[in-house]
């Protein structure tokens, strides 16, 4: 029997998970669980490239873990772990730093964007974190990496570094491919529909978080930016706001864009925005209830962390040992 292909992905616990994170990433992860060997991490090491509050990072990491499970990621089917619990990530990142060119990192779009937003803290980690991301992926010999359009550049860099290393030392790393779902790949801000929905955006009204109260969700959709037209029609270029709301409604209800257009033919934007808000509230209601139950059970979360890290290390350690041997490090004597 052919072995399942492997998938690796993770989200930084730098803030609350958003509706965009759920639709664009986590919801799709659940559907992959039966067909792939899935590794999903709380990317806490990536979080510290910007200034942060340590206590908040610890809390959000565990909240994110509980939300992963509440969203349907079964810890028995998937390897779910905290990145910093698997030291091989940092170790492989250092080796790969030595096989990544300065010019390649200089061209990373996200480094330029984040440098502009954090002008007083342009640190080396901010510059080299795509190498850590490459280590994350290559440690598990991932065949596919579920990413949004904005992360494709980092997967391309990972491929380049892996092929460079393989070219020198032989067949060491699997060359990963980006995996981008067709629907819901990128949910945009409700206030600025040309920008991705993000927990870091300046206008909190543009972002729906998974644990938001129903009244806050309805208020955000009521205020969502649309256009001067009155027709519910999918046209990303001419009607980005309405198209974004249609994307969300399609995921919440399972309806196609054509069905949505027919459903709201002759109705105003007010009716449509109310319907999207209500559909979102109903989508998140069971998820929020399950989160509260899981997050209250600290012993269970600790067990998930320990078991996930152990399973991740089993795969990661094999890759790192192979890399260390290839580059000429003296092997450690087994205890």
Could you list the active site residues?
114, 196, 199
What does the alpha-carbon distance between residue 177 and residue 4 come to, in Å, rounded to a whole number?
15
What does the alpha-carbon distance between residue 107 and residue 110 come to, in Å, rounded to a whole number?
9
DSSP string, 249-296: HHHHH---HHHHHHHTTT--HHHHHHHHHHHHHHHHHHHHHHHHHHHT
Distance (Å) of CA 159 to CA 93, 144, 167, 179, 248:
14, 11, 12, 14, 32
What does the alpha-carbon distance between residue 17 and residue 199 come to, in Å, rounded to a whole number?
7
Residue 3: partners with Cβ closer than 8 Å, 6 or more residues away = none
Residue 119: partners with Cβ closer than 8 Å, 6 or more residues away = none
What does the alpha-carbon distance between residue 76 and residue 230 come to, in Å, rounded to a whole number?
48
The packing angle between helices 152-169 and 298-327, to 10°, is 40
Q: CA torsion angle for 173, 136, 195, 251 (degrees, to 10)?
A: 90
């Amino acid at each position: 029997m052919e072995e399942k292909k492997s998938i690796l992905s993770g989200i930084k616990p730098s803030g609350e998970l958003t509706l965009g994170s759920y639709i664009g990433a986590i919801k799709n992860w659940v559907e992959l669980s039966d067909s792939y060997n899935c590794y999903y991490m709380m990317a806490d090491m990536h979080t510290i490239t910007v200034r942060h509050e340590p206590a908040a990072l610890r809390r959000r990491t565990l909240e994110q873990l509980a939300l992963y499970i509440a969203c349907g990621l079964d810890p028995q089917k998937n390897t779910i772990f905290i990145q910093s619990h698997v030291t091989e990530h940092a170790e492989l990142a250092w080796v790969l730093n030595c096989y990544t060119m300065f010019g390649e990192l200089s061209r990373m779009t996200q480094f330029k964007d984040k440098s502009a937003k954090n002008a007083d803290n342009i640190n080396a980690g901010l510059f080299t974190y795509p190498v850590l991301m490459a280590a994350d992926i290559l440690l598990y010999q991932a065949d596919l990496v579920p990413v949004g359009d904005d992360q494709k550049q980092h997967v391309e860099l990972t491929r380049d570094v892996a092929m460079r290393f393989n070219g020198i030392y032989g067949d060491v790393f699997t060359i990963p491919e980006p995996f981008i779902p067709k629907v819901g790949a990128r949910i945009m801000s409700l206030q600025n529909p040309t920008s991705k929905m993000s927990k870091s955006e300046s206008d909190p009204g543009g972002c729906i978080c998974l644990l938001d109260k129903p009244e806050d969700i309805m208020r955000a959709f009521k205020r969502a930016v649309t256009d001067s037209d009155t027709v519910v029609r999918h046209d990303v270029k001419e009607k980005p706001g309405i198209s974004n709301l249609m994307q969300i409604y399609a995921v919440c209800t399972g309806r196609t864009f054509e069905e949505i257009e027919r459903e709201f033919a002759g109705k105003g934007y007010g009716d449509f925005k109310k319907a999207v808000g209500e559909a979102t509230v109903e989508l998140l209601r069971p998820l929020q209830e399950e989160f509260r139950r899981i997050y209250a059970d600290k012993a269970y979360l600790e067990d998930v962390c320990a078991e996930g890290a152990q399973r991740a290390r089993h795969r990661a350690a094999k890759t790192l040992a192979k890399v260390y041997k290839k580059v000429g490090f003296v092997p450690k004597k087994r205890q």
